[in-house]
Amino acid sequence: MKGTFLTVHDGLDSIGGNKILLETGGIRAFLDFGINFKKHSCFFAEFLKPAPPGVHDLLQLGLIPELPIYREDLVPSDLHLPSDQPADAVYLSHAHLDHCGCAGLLGLQTTVCCSAMTAAILKGMQDVKSESPWEEVVYLSRRERDEGGTYLYSGSEAYSGRSSSTSRGSAPGWNTSA
């Protein structure tokens, strides 16, 4: 593919929920990967949340794009996503959930790029409250499939960090040089 392309997967008709894919020179990078609260509130309320821990419901309701970019441990075996190239990186502008709230769903091969302040705020938010994969941006609890391969649950491996190249001694999988 020659040229530079922008695809707005979400956030065009609302404030927040930004998921903008930039493709150029064989590189695919998202600019933000947030929660669209307008769409989200059509299906969920404070007391009613998506069925944890996978991405199936979110995809079916159109709350996240149907792309091969999600953590393997969150994709049930009966869900088949397109097989084109996953995202290389996601650049988070800041630590508001409408800009970064879905970043915890991204595959571990995706490097998360943000400022050191944004990384510190995200870690603080996760340390205080982490109930779902949405909130697992800095470190995560891997999910395992049941014997049938359909349902996901938190397994014995407690926490893993994102493994990728880092800069200036930042947390694993984080690039805070931006």
The pLDDT tens digits of the residues spanning 78-128 come to: 788 887 777 889 999 999 989 998 898 888 888 889 998 998 898 888 888
Give the whole-angstrom CA distance, residue 119 versus residue 161. 13
Range of the domain at 83: 4-175
Q: Rounded distance, CA 64 to CA 66, Å?
A: 7
Query: How many distinct structural domains can be found in the chain?
Result: 1
Question: Does pTM surpass 0.95?
Answer: no
Average pLDDT, the chain: 77
Burial string for 50-71 (b: 16+ CB within 10 Å, else e) reads: beebbbbebbeeebbbebebbb
**Per residue of the chain (178 residues), what is the pLDDT tens digit?**
689 999 999 988 888 889 999 999 889 999 999 999 888 888 877 656 666 567 888 888 889 998 888 888 888 777 888 877 778 899 999 999 899 988 988 888 888 899 989 988 988 888 887 666 667 777 766 666 667 666 555 554 544 555 433 333 344 455 555 4
Q: Is 20 exposed, middle or buried (0-12, 13-18, 19+ CB in 10 A)?
A: middle
Q: CATH number of the domain at 63, please.
A: 3.60.15.10
